[in-house]
Structure 1
Amino acid sequence: MNHDVDGFRFGLVTPVAAYLMAWLSSALGLRCIVRTVHHGHRGKSGWLILGAASIGCGIWTMHFIAMLGFTIDRIDLTYDVGLTVLSLVIAIVVVSIGVFVVGHLGATRWTLGVAGPVTGLGVSAMHYTGMHAMHFHGSLRFDTVTVVLSVLIAVGAATAALWAAVTVRGLMPALAAGLVMAAAVTGMHYTAMAAVSFHPTATAADLHTGQSPLSLLLPMLIGPMFFLFLAAWIVMFDPLLVAGDSGSSRTASAAAPTARLHP
């Protein structure tokens, strides 16, 4: 990035907040997928959808929380609402593809070899669609090598996440896996931002016009964050997950008929 660009307007506040959001949503998504793999198959598609939407919303929210700290010297930034929403749809759809492939076929070399790259490329598409939604007086240029590196990080993170989704069991391992996934996803974001250079073309009359990204992005972040809150509430009170964490697989299997008798 050139000398006019600052990705840390609020210091470490936005990177830390973005990382925490990525961590919580990753751990939440893993718990949803674990529910289908280790604790029975009732409502499997619903839990896979909930897990994929949680991870997709979390990655998207992480991206735009980080973008709240992004500024260009003396240039006002605005965002196209349609493209911003499209980036959210891309995140959820591509994560769903990877989650459903691995959730139904298992974490084999073949499934990970297909689902991992597809999901990673989708996450990258979400990021660059979100960047394309940004409007300002000037042009964007991308360093090819750094862009490729960011995509490789995204593919690696997606593959590791899908592998963990069907192998990690228990609350603490899921939280630990979420930490690693969040570090990879957040690292991908800032690597991708390092590939960007901005070249303003505005005249003095064009500077400091438009609406603040803070006023645009904050309202849009409320919906996905509220969804993640509801998803967390569902996971926290699911009897099979609670039984699976507190006891053996026998306890988990014994809890299943109880859940059916007393929903």
Structure 2
Amino acid sequence: MAATVTDFHYGAVTPVAAYLMACLGSALGLRCTVRSMRGGPRGKKNGWLSLAAVSLGCGIWTMHFIAMMGFRAVGSGIAYDTQLTLLSLVVAIVVTAVGVFLVGHLGSGAKVLAAAGVLMGLGVAAMHYIGMAAMRVDGRMRYDTVTVALSVLIAVAAATAALWAAVTVRNLWSSLGASLIMGVAVTGMHYTGMAAVSVHAGHTGATSAQSSIDQLSFLLAMIAGPVIMLVVAATIVMFDPDLVLGDEQRSAPGTDAVRRGTGPAAGLYAPRPEAVNTPVQHRR
């Protein structure tokens, strides 16, 4: 018999919190990727790309498991396999790293974006379903094939859009807007994948289920590390002026050029020619 399944056990709290974490990871990942493309030593570039991958991966993974806090199957308890749960985090970071490093080093050509987007999207979907495989229920989980395929397509589209935004959107406010859209896409992929799930109650010999409190405590413990990583990444971003300012602010006319006495606005501050070396005449 099919159990009644809900993804909103705590109402709007879990989807809103999941969406915000997806937005945070997307925003940090976009800004770090932008920073990596402003030149500098290769090692520093790779450092920014690595930070972008960790931010995006942790943001997506944290979004998934915050959303899973709201998952309940009436008549079936839920437990999680720790190793598979951690494996899903590794997959999220690794596949995101593949995508951002491909774009960061090979450019933003259509073929590169398409290849990187497909690899990254399939990896995000793999992270989601590995996380689902880590879940143990007193029953059998089944998936609707069409809905699963739709969730994978959304993941690929979201990943491609994220990579495109990372190499195209340079302005700070535009990046923030892109991260809000990315949050919708990533969270939408998760809930589309969850719509494919049905649970058929009945003991299957799986590990004993946790109580709701134990399940919540486990998930909170799991997401603590990635959340700390996101806080560290946010701190690095906030203290790097080149990351906070977009290209438009950095290259705004009348800033450094005016100070050097060059540029179109330099004449406003330069002394008039007739005033240079002109002796002062005194009235008698």
Higher helix share: 1
Q: Please give the alpha-carbon distance, in whole angstroms, between the structure 1 residues aligned to 2:80 and 2:124.
A: 19
Q: Tell me if the contact between 2:158 and 2:186 (Cα under 8 Å) persists in the aligned partners.
A: yes
Q: Please give the alpha-carbon distance, in whole angstroms, between the structure 1 residues aligned to 2:125 and 2:135.
A: 16
- Spell out the pairing of 1:81-230 with structure 2 (5 A cutoff): 81-202=82-203, 209-211=209-211, 212-230=214-232
Q: Tell me if the contact between 2:79 and 2:209 (Cα under 8 Å) persists in the aligned partners.
A: no
Calculate percent identity across the aligned residue pairs.
60
Judged with a 3 Å threshold, the aligned counterparts in structure 2 of structure 1 residues 252 and 242 are, in CA distance, closer, same or farther, namely: farther
Code of the residue aligned with 1:220 in structure 2: it is M
Task: Render the CA deviation track for 1:191-228: whole Å, top value 9, x for unaligned.
Answer: 0000111111139xx9x953431011101111000010
Which secondary structure state, in structure 2, belongs to the residue aligned with residue 119 of structure 1? helix
Q: Please give the alpha-carbon distance, in whole angstroms, between the structure 2 residues aligned to 1:55 and 1:22.
A: 8
1:261 aligned residue: none
Judged with a 3 Å threshold, the aligned counterparts in structure 2 of structure 1 residues 35 and 25 are, in CA distance, closer, same or farther, namely: same
Which secondary structure state, in structure 2, belongs to the residue aligned with residue 89 of structure 1? helix
Q: Please give the alpha-carbon distance, in whole angstroms, between the structure 2 residues aligned to 1:214 and 1:35.
A: 37
Q: Tell me if the contact between 1:78 and 1:213 (Cα under 8 Å) persists in the aligned partners.
A: yes
Which secondary structure state, in structure 2, belongs to the residue aligned with residue 197 of structure 1? strand
2:236 aligned residue: 234
Q: Tell me if the contact between 1:243 and 1:252 (Cα under 8 Å) persists in the aligned partners.
A: no
Question: Normalized against structure 1, the TM-score is what?
Answer: 0.89
Judged with a 3 Å threshold, the aligned counterparts in structure 2 of structure 1 residues 252 and 56 are, in CA distance, closer, same or farther, namely: farther
Q: Please give the alpha-carbon distance, in whole angstroms, between the structure 1 residues aligned to 2:167 and 2:256.
A: 17
Q: Tell me if the contact between 2:99 and 2:119 (Cα under 8 Å) persists in the aligned partners.
A: yes
Judged with a 3 Å threshold, the aligned counterparts in structure 2 of structure 1 residues 17 and 243 are, in CA distance, closer, same or farther, namely: closer
Q: Please give the alpha-carbon distance, in whole angstroms, between the structure 2 residues aligned to 1:115 and 1:183.
A: 20
What is the deviation of 1:3? 5.5
Q: Tell me if the contact between 1:157 and 1:184 (Cα under 8 Å) persists in the aligned partners.
A: yes
Q: Please give the alpha-carbon distance, in whole angstroms, between the structure 2 residues aligned to 1:17 and 1:242.
A: 24
Q: Tell me if the contact between 1:98 and 1:162 (Cα under 8 Å) persists in the aligned partners.
A: yes
Q: Please give the alpha-carbon distance, in whole angstroms, between the structure 1 residues aligned to 2:108 and 2:170.
A: 14
Code of the residue aligned with 2:39 in structure 1: it is G
Code of the residue aligned with 2:250 in structure 1: it is G
Q: Please give the alpha-carbon distance, in whole angstroms, between the structure 2 residues aligned to 1:210 and 1:148.
A: 30
What is the deviation of 1:171? 1.4
Give the alignment's Cα RMSD to 1 decimal. 2.0
Code of the residue aligned with 1:214 in structure 2: it is L
Q: Please give the alpha-carbon distance, in whole angstroms, between the structure 2 residues aligned to 1:98 and 1:185.
A: 16
What is the deviation of 1:242? 3.9
What is the deviation of 1:112? 1.2
Task: Render the CA deviation track for 1:22-69: whole Å, top value 9, x for unaligned.
Answer: 0011011100000011x3233000000000110000000000000000
Runs (5+) with no aligned partner, structure 1: 254-263
Question: Normalized against structure 2, the TM-score is what?
Answer: 0.83
Code of the residue aligned with 1:234 in structure 2: it is I
What is the deviation of 1:12? 0.6
Code of the residue aligned with 1:213 in structure 2: it is Q
Task: Render the CA deviation track for 1:168-193: whole Å, top value 9, x for unaligned.
Answer: 11211111000111100000000000
Q: Please give the alpha-carbon distance, in whole angstroms, between the structure 2 residues aligned to 1:86 and 1:92.
A: 10
Specify which structure has the bigger relative contact order, considering alpha-carbon pairs within 8 angstroms and separated by 6 or more residues: 1
Q: Please give the alpha-carbon distance, in whole angstroms, between the structure 2 residues aligned to 1:40 and 1:31.
A: 14
Code of the residue aligned with 1:102 in structure 2: it is V
2:250 aligned residue: 247
Task: Render the CA deviation track for 1:80-130: whole Å, top value 9, x for unaligned.
Answer: 000000000000000000000001111111101211110000000000000
Q: Tell me if the contact between 1:244 and 1:252 (Cα under 8 Å) persists in the aligned partners.
A: no
Aligned length: 248
2:42 maps to 1:40: no
Q: Tell me if the contact between 1:80 and 1:134 (Cα under 8 Å) persists in the aligned partners.
A: yes
What is the deviation of 1:247? 2.9
